[in-house]
Amino acid sequence: MPVIEHTLDYRLVSYPVRVYSGKDALESLPSEVSRHRAKRVFVISGRSVSQKTPLVKRIRTLLGENFAGLYDDMGKDTPVANVMAARDKAREAGADLLIGVGAGSVIQGTRIVAILLAEKEPVEKLITQYPPGMPAISPKLMAPKLPIINVLTVGSSAQNRAGSPMKSEKPGVRMEFFDPKTRPVALFWDDEALLTAPVSMVCASGGAIYWRAVMNMGYTRATALADYNRRQTFDIMSKALPRLKDPNDVAARNDLCVATFLQNRDVDDGGGNVRHWVGRVVYAFAAALFGMHGEVSQGAAHCALTPAAIRHLGPRDPEAMCAIASALGVWKDGDPVAEASPRAADELERVFRSIGMPANLSELNIPKSSAAVILNASMTNFNADPKQEFIKEKDYLGEVLASAW
């Protein structure tokens, strides 16, 4: 396996958070609320969690007289109308602590509610700006924010981050917020809560996190801390992924929470965004795809695009592809370097399909007529392409995208 070079030059950022995990973990919720001297706790969830599971009722019982209200209509991708409605209800309730119950959209929506309750400026002045060809500019949101507790129903990269997207009513308009003060003070990975999520949602989340873990194995230079996080995340996900289809395997679902936590810590520990061509291009294509087709999850988009991208773009970063193929167990030192990319692509196709995830865009029923829009949107993704290399390769990247069908 290629040797990882550890850099000594980095900055580490750490945020305090308490994690309660396992059987009856939620029984510690009242003491955690008391630790923040909260008396008016407002709960935010989606309708499925509140109406099809006993979880919200359980939380309400645990909170007792400290329960101040509930908004249970947070939709997929955090629509602006839902966020505003949740903010208004939380304000009317006099909330002094927020609890997000669910996964990505609910957790992100809860963070945005905290921002909108505290900041006085209009939304347009609170969101991150994306000047063409330049780094994103996030305004400094200085007002103190209410403490947030997240009760997860499925492992999600949203669980302890500071950035939150909100779906605009205007097509093509990005609305993203960033405020480190909205990171949670506590996370709950309660067994009963984690078993409420349907297998399809768990596998979609698992696919997204496994994809990032695989891409991160393509690094050949990292801080020692980031390297450890990546290796542990990949090891945990490789063992947990085949078990996610079992609706009763709570240990696998807990592993998903652990893996996402470690993956998020990567950046705090001096890591960075994926820099090899496969990771960058798939990230940009996937962002455009699930932005255009709201029914597609991030996990499904990443899985469907990756095998084709590796076959076409992998040879541009042979060292990274050898590292990925080695981690997947399909390449070893002494094997032909040219074999690393096709072997990795074949193995990932097998793994993705084994958990019911797509390995090409046809399996997602995405029409080929979407290709031009996806490609054009990908050209302006600064996070994936800070040096604006994509536009010079647009024709070839169009061929890469077309091959994903």
Q: At 103, which CATH number?
A: 3.40.50.1970
pLDDT digits (tens, 9 = 90+) for 167-208: 888 766 678 999 999 999 999 999 999 999 999 999 999 999
Q: At 313, which CATH number?
A: 1.20.1090.10
Residues 6 or more apart whose Cβ sits within 8 Å of residue 26? 20, 58, 59, 62, 151, 188, 190, 192, 193
Q: Is residue 13 part of a domain?
A: no
Cα angle vertex 186, ends 69, 195, to 5°? Answer: 75
Residues 147 and 21: their CA atoms lie apart, in Å, by 19
pLDDT of 273: 67
Single-letter amino acid, residue 364: L
Q: Are residues 305 and 391 in the same domain?
A: yes
Q: Is residue 226 part of a domain?
A: yes
> pTM of the entire structure?
0.94
pLDDT of 3: 67
Residues 234 and 1: their CA atoms lie apart, in Å, by 15
Domain boundary among 165, 194, 223: 194
| Element spanning 95, H or E | none
Domain boundary among 133, 163, 194: 194
Q: How many separate domains does the chain show? A: 2
pLDDT digits (tens, 9 = 90+) for 113-162: 999 999 999 999 999 988 877 778 899 999 999 999 999 999 999 999 99
Low pLDDT (below 70) residues in the chain = 1-3, 171-173, 272-274
Q: Is residue 5 part of a domain?
A: no
Residues 12 and 10: their CA atoms lie apart, in Å, by 7
Residues 66 and 40: their CA atoms lie apart, in Å, by 5
Q: Are residues 258 and 289 in the same domain?
A: yes
**Are the C-beta atoms of 317 and 277 separated by less than 8 Å?**
yes
Q: Is residue 152 part of a domain?
A: yes
